[in-house]
């Protein structure tokens, strides 16, 4: 792997990010990656970080800054961390999370959380623990209610 660069994604990165998402079995329809990148670039509190090696995206992370009413400081929520499997990419997640932490600190966040999905074939809690994340039993449990998608999804 060539030298790794982690930076904010730009609309011009749509093609390489689209190829990365396809490698992760998360392909989006043509034009959707570019539309989402434009949306993130207009938001001051939402960010997409891309890890690039050569001219190809090898990792992606989305981060949102969430203000709180009852606590000082905001927190950063990582809603997506995608890196292809394999030993040559093992350190890419660490690089993305390091840049995300710097971004969260610039926004004066007091903590970072990551939303992880588990499948029977992997245990993301162990991987995340190795990256410095842990289950925080001192905070309320996050409860989620899925909403039906609107007829047309455009962001």
Half-sphere exposure at residue 104, Cβ-oriented, CA atoms within 13 angstroms:
24
Segment among 72-81, 96-105, 115-124 with least mean pLDDT: 115-124
CATH number where 23 lies: 3.40.630.30
Indicate whether 49 belongs to any domain. Answer: yes
| Alpha-carbon 93 to chain mean position | 10
pLDDT in tens, 10-69: 989 999 999 999 999 999 988 999 999 998 888 878 999 999 999 999 999 999 999 988
Q: Kindly state whether residue 39 falls inside one of the protein's structural domains.
A: yes
Q: Is residue 90 part of a domain?
A: yes
CA dihedral 30, 16, 60, 33 (to 10 degrees): -20
Evaluate whether residue 152 is within a structural domain: no
Classify residue 145: in a domain, yes or no: no
| Measured CA distances, 106 to 45, 65, 73, 137 (Å) | 11, 11, 12, 27
Domain containing 55 equals: 4-130
Q: Give the confidence band of 132 by pLDDT, cuts at 50, 70, 90.
A: confident
pLDDT of 145: 64
> For residue 77, what pLDDT is reported?
92
Total domain count, the chain: 1
Phi, psi of 50 (to 5 degrees): -125, 140
User: How, if at all, do strands 46-53 and 56-66 pair?
Assistant: antiparallel
Q: C-alpha dihedral over 86, 111, 51, 80, to 10 degrees?
A: 70
């Amino acid at each position: 792997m060539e030298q790794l660069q982690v930076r904010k994604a730009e609309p011009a990165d749509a093609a390489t990010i689209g190829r990365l998402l396809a490698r992760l079995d998360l392909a989006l329809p043509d034009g959707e990656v570019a539309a989402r990148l434009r949306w993130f670039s207009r938001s001051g509190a939402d960010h997409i970080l891309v890890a690039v090696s050569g001219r190809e995206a090898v990792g992606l992370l989305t981060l949102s800054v969430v203000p709180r009413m009852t606590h000082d400081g905001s927190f950063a929520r990582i809603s997506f961390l995608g890196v292809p499997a394999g030993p040559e990419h093992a350190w890419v997640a660490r690089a993305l999370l390091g840049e995300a932490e710097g971004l969260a600190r610039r926004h004066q966040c007091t903590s970072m959380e990551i939303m992880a999905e588990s499948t029977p074939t992997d245990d993301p809690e162990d991987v995340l623990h190795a990256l410095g994340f842990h289950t925080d039993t001192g905070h309320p449990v996050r409860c989620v209610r899925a909403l039906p998608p609107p007829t047309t999804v455009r962001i």
